[in-house]
Structure 1
Amino acid sequence: MQQKRSPERDEGLVSTTETLSAIARTMLILEALEAETTGLGVSELARRTGLSKSSVHRMASELTSLRVLERHGSVYRLGLRLFELGQKAPRHRDLREAARPYMSDLREATGHSVHLAVLDGTAVVYLEVLRSPTAPPLPTRSGVRWPAHGTGIGKAILAYSGDETVERIVANGLPRLSERTIDTPGRFHAELTRIRERGVSYDLEESRPGVVCAASPVFGHDGTVVAGLSVSGWHNRINLDQTASAVRTAALGLSRQLGSGH
């Protein structure tokens, strides 16, 4: 049962968050709406952010006038202006543009959904998703974050990341996303070693029951890992050996292109 917060604790939270800068408070609102496709009302936004209802109402109204948010009845959602700005982030825009032909070929060759993602903190952020008509109903789409340790694409990136990055993931905990999520440090480190040995990472129903994937790292011009490519599908409809070979070939091709500067 969820513990009920006391009014005094709520008041303390509000007073603390109200002292944040306008930019920090704006980010609280945007992050609260990040995964809410149906939107949130003022009361729920206030509860999740710790801001007062009056502050949320005032800021949400202003953000709506700037097209950063959209209002639908009594709820707010992330607006088109955020998408427009995100498309212009140069590093990720160039990566997406370079990856699209490889992703398209992968989807055609395998018949399954293809993902491009980068590591951000302890999560992967999906930059591009090409869905297959037979794809599982995954919550992944451009801009969505997912815990890196529980995804094939996240493990592919982490296997070639620095020790400090990996230890940050482990220190954050390895919460279970499904019954098969690798959730102990020893097993997780062993998994990253296996990925480095074969150059391919697998998600064997670790992020979601019934769904598997093969993923490979993508390297930049300086040889450091910059992203991951993955192909995912239903466990009983995908040939993981063939898929792994295809995704590794695509990731190597994309890495060569990024390394050449073209």
Structure 2
Amino acid sequence: MGNEGERDSAGVQSVDRALSVLKLLARHGELGVSEIAAELGVHRSTAFRLVATLENHDLVHQNDERGRYRLGIGVVRLAGATTARLDVVREGRPVGARLAAEVGETVNIAILDRDEALYLDQMAGTSALQAHNWTGRRIALHATSNGKVLLAYAPTGRFEEVTAGRLTRFTERTVTDAARLREELDAVLDRGYATAVDELEVGLTAVAAPVFGADGTVVASLSASGPTFRLTAERLSAVAAQVVAAAAEVSSRLGWYGRARFGQ
């Protein structure tokens, strides 16, 4: 137990030092290993191991000519991912709030996070009493309308990764067969929206549409969900049209000027 605690403590100390290296480079621009060691109060070999690990993750980059280190492209990627999420929430919230008021149901914004849908924001409609709070939750891609949209537009190979293992069955309506799921995703691409009826929870129906970024890639999905007894098959088509229109508006706010597809 003592050795395990010592290892944990050493690991935390290494993380703390690595973060300190990033802060030093952000403040000074470029530093050599000896300078980093002096700033941290550690041996030069320790500083070298820290920057080598950070370099392996593209978080720092060594200037070949001078042998000094600066922040790497990995930091930019992390910052860009955070900025993109903030942009989606900022631009999507007013549109989602209006959609929630129009349809009277819960509206959610989700993004693809590895093999799950990460729910970033939620707006409750007038009829959505005691609605689930999905914000911050990660949900399986194959069992939700948001997940199906994100998986349908995901990079090549993601579908195979997601379906390589056994797909969890949440209800009797959950699609767990990879071939059938592929057919549903092809239909999503064709008509521009996805539905999930009693697939994550019995009595819960949802419809989602893609949100495009300025470069034309799907950066999020926007959904409306509510009780199946309210979102009937007859009503779902009309709500789908409203969701597609709302998602297109968010897309335009993010700089995408393509045409939303509905019923094609």
Fold similarity call, TM over 0.5:
yes
Distance 1:162 1:24 in 2: 34
AA aligned opposite 1:241: S
C-alpha distance 218-260 of structure 1, shift in aligned 2 (>3 A) = closer
C-alpha distance 140-181 of structure 1, shift in aligned 2 (>3 A) = farther
1:108 aligns with 2:104: no
State the 1:24 CA deviation: 10
Alignment of 1:130-169 (within 5 A): 130-135=123-128, 139-169=132-162
Tell me if structure 2 keeps the 8 A contact 1:178–1:206.
Answer: yes
State the 1:259 CA deviation: 2.0
Q: Secondary structure at the match of 2:201?
A: coil
1:256 aligns with 2:246: no
1:21 aligns with 2:21: no
Which structure would you say has the larger Rg? 2
C-alpha distance 24-215 of structure 1, shift in aligned 2 (>3 A) = farther
Tell me if structure 2 keeps the 8 A contact 1:118–1:228.
Answer: yes
State the 1:145 CA deviation: 1.0
1:92 counterpart (64, 72, 85): 85
| Counterpart residue number, 1:121 | 114
Tell me if structure 2 keeps the 8 A contact 1:203–1:213.
Answer: yes
Distance 1:242 1:235 in 2: 15
2:224 counterpart (221, 231, 250): 231
Distance 2:196 2:10 in 1: 40
AA aligned opposite 1:109: E
2:196 counterpart (203, 225, 232): 203
1:216 aligns with 2:209: yes
Distance 1:92 1:231 in 2: 19
| Counterpart residue number, 1:194 | 187
Alignment of 1:50-65 (within 5 A): none
1:242 counterpart (238, 242, 249): 238
| Counterpart residue number, 2:77 | none
State the 1:132 CA deviation: 2.9
Distance 1:129 1:94 in 2: 15
Unaligned runs of 5+ in 1: 1-10, 26-87
Tell me if structure 1 keeps the 8 A contact 2:149–2:209.
Answer: yes
Tell me if structure 2 keeps the 8 A contact 1:136–1:233.
Answer: no
AA aligned opposite 2:11: S
What is the aligned residue count? Answer: 187
C-alpha distance 136-177 of structure 1, shift in aligned 2 (>3 A) = farther
Distance 1:23 1:206 in 2: 45
- Structure 2 length-normalised TM: 0.64
Q: Secondary structure at the match of 2:169?
A: coil
1:171 counterpart (149, 157, 164): 164
Tell me if structure 1 keeps the 8 A contact 2:96–2:108.
Answer: yes
State the 1:134 CA deviation: 3.2
Distance 1:187 1:23 in 2: 49
